[in-house]
Homo-oligomer: A and B are copies of this chain.
Amino acid sequence: MTGPRHGADARLRGLALNTATLGHNLEGRGAGWPVERVIDACAARGLGGIVFWRREIGARAAEIGERVRGAGMEVTGLCRAPYLAGPLALPSRDAIMDDFRAAIDMAAALGTKVLTIVTGGVEPGTRGIAPTLELIADRVAEAAPLAAACGVSLALEPLHPVYAGDRAALVTMRDAVDLCDRIGAPNVGVACDVYHVWWDRTLPAELARAGCARILGFHLCDWLADTRDVLLDRGMMGDGVADLAAIGRAVRAAGFAGCAEVEVFSARNWWLRPPDEVLDVMVERFLALG
């Protein structure tokens, strides 16, 4: 196992890799590094944490969590709970809640404090987002005590409104904070991903309303002006038009003190590059944000 290189910038302790940035190692996406190599590469650069996806963990959650901590980092989060509603959700409430519990168990075994929730889109048979947000509130409220017993917090992540139909009826920080208020559990908060919310001028006020105890994640990438695909064409910080510095200031002003995680889905660019190059550019761009 490799330790941090001599002289790594101390600010990198505030940076986490979301493994999506390396393409998840899925077929044709990224170089296919084993988890151990990803951990060592992050540790060698002096990063503070890593965010994994469930598909990468399998039955090895405890072992992988230990390895991350052994390398001097934290498991910043786990992606993600299943869709809790909408056309892409599992076919029954029972199946959804079973998988939700399995995700909470995995987070606990990994030793991470944060499980991210992407809510799922408009529930079939309903119109508008309001009825779906009620379903979401109900399901998160049911799972919250189990998560709390495992030391896991649930981060409601508003996605870009382009996904409202299928992937996430929760599309604004305002609605996310309202959901937290409604659920009223101390371990339910929000995640702020710049890709989804950069266009929203009410974001600083809503982050302040959330408050430091409820901001559970801060995700970095950039919005490309010529975005070709809303799912897999994210930019690296600095290549797009989001005001990342201003959003970062708003997140910190609201009291968030955790690692910023870099999550770049990029089928046409970054997933085609060697992981070492992607990590080096990620580090450089993160430090350039100031």
List residues of A whose CB falls within 8 A of some B CB: 87, 121-122, 124, 126-130, 160-162, 164-166, 171-172, 174-175, 198-202, 223-227, 230, 240-246
Q: Measured between alpha carbons, how far is A197 from B165 in the docked complex, in Å?
A: 13
What B residues does A243 contact at CB under 8 A?
127-128, 130
What is the total number of copies of this protein in its complex?
Answer: 2
Query: What's the least CB distance linking A68 to chain B, in Å?
Result: 33
Measured between beta carbons, the chain B residues less than 8 angstroms from A175 are: 201
- Residues of chain B contacted by A130 (CB below 8 angstroms): 201, 243
Within 8 Å by CB of A241, from B128, B225, B226, B244, lies B128
Contact across chains for A225 and B162 when beta carbons are under 8 A apart: no
CA gap between A199 and B127 in the complex, in Å: 10
Select which of B160, B161, B165, B225 is within 8 A of A225 by beta carbon: B165
CB of A200 within 8 A of CB of B172, answer yes
What are the residues of chain B within 8 A of A127 when measuring CB–CB? 241-246
The 8 closest A-B CB pairs, nearest first, are: A128-B243, A165-B225, A127-B243, A122-B241, A162-B162, A164-B199, A161-B199, A171-B199
